[in-house]
Amino acid sequence: MSERRIIPAAETRVETRAGNSRFIATLGPAFSVEEAKAFISRVKTGFADATHNVPAYIIGHGQTTIAHCHDDGEPSGTAGRPMLAVLQGSGLGDVVAVVTRYFGGTKLGTGGLVRAYGDAVREGLEALPRAEKVATVTVMAEISYPLLERARLLVSSHGGVILEEQFAAEITLMIRFRSEEFPAFAAALREASHGVAEAIVMETNEATIMPL
């Protein structure tokens, strides 16, 4: 079984406070450095009057990741690095975060800044919905009318999703499966139809987004 590739399912924003300063964490998905930079730019534009907009991102999963962070004017190592450390500990990939700070008049010191930026990302991760990037196959199967309910049950029991049903002389099903689930379904369909019905792979996708 390959390593699970968990990603953000949607953009999320959470506000925290530390020493009278407001910290606003915005997190979301990014599948390339260009997408991460566009996300960061959009957040910075939205909070152009903020004291700091500190970015961090991880593109990819496992051993093949691009990680980046920046302190955006905070003392070196007190903002971007703790944010990135929290992201790296989350198990997520293809994730970008920007923590916006509105200075409240009280200096937090080095340790206080590290905690505040790290905690802002932790709070954001608590609220963040997850999805999984999985390898899938889309298949077509022609079946007889008496076999329809049995075929629907087989699709469901193998974690598939029926994308389309076309009714003519026979019924044509378009179905999506996780790649590792498909062989068992194909065998079960052959058995249920006494070797008549075959599921034919029409498309493979190494990175289908499936909400968790």
What's the pLDDT score for residue 207?
83
**6-128 has which CATH code?**
3.30.230.30
For the chain, the residue count is 212
Pick the closest to residue 150 from 100, 108, 189, 106 (CA basis): 189
Structure tokens, 202: 């029409």
- What the block records as the tokens of 17 is 């406070």
Quick one: pLDDT at residue 18? Answer: 94
Mean pLDDT, consecutive 10-residue segments, the chain of 212 residues? 81 96 97 97 98 97 91 97 97 96 94 97 97 93 95 95 95 94 96 94 89 76
For the chain, give every domain's residue range. Answer: 6-128, 133-211
The whole-number pLDDT of residue 2 equals 55
Q: Are 10 and 28 in contact (CB under 8 A)?
A: yes
Q: Which two tokens stand for residue 129?
A: 């919905």
CATH 3.30.70.240 fits 133-211, yes or no: yes
Identify the DSSP state of 92: B
Output the pLDDT for position 1: 43
Residue 61's identity, in one-letter code, is H
**pLDDT (0 to 100) of residue 167:** 97
Q: Which residues contact 42 (CB under 8 A, 6 or more apart)?
A: none
Q: Residue for token digits 């390339």?
A: 32
